A = this chain, B = another copy of it.
Amino acid sequence: MKILVVEDNPSVSSMLELFFSKEGLEGEFAGDGLEGYRKFQEGEFDLLILDWMLPGMEGIALCRKIRETGSEVPIIMLTAKDSESDQVIGFEMGADDYVTKPFSPLTLMARIKAVTRRARKGDTGEEGIRTAHFHVRKETREVVKDGQAIDNLTPKEFDLLVFFLQHPKQVFSREQLLEQVWGYQFYGDERTVDVHIKRLRKKIPEGDQLFHTVWGVGYKFEELAG
Contact = CB atoms under 8 A, between A and B. Distances in A.
Given A110-B100, A139-B171, A141-B214, A84 B118 contact: no
Contacts of A117: 179
Contacts of A139: 169-171
Contact of A216 (B87, B91, B97, B154): B154
A155 B105 contact: no
A70 interface: no
For the complex formed by this chain, how many copies does it contain in all?
2
Contact of A140 (B84, B100, B171): B171
A84 B16 CA distance: 12
A102 interface: yes
A104 B91 contact: yes
A73 interface: no
A106 B98 CA distance: 12
A220 interface: yes
B87 A97 contact: no
A51 interface: no
Interface of A: 11, 15, 82, 84, 87-88, 91, 95-98, 100, 102-107, 110, 113-115, 117-118, 120-121, 123, 139-142, 154-155, 169-171, 176, 179, 214-217, 220
29 contacts: A15-B84, A15-B88, A82-B106, A82-B107, A84-B102, A87-B102, A91-B104, A91-B106, A96-B106, A97-B107, A98-B102, A100-B102, A106-B118, A107-B114, A110-B118, A110-B123, A113-B123, A114-B121, A114-B123, A117-B179, A139-B169, A139-B170, A140-B169, A140-B170, A140-B171, A140-B220, A141-B171, A141-B220, A155-B216
Which 7 A-B residue pairs are closest in the complex by CB-CB distance?
A: A155-B216, A110-B118, A140-B169, A110-B123, A139-B170, A97-B104, A141-B171
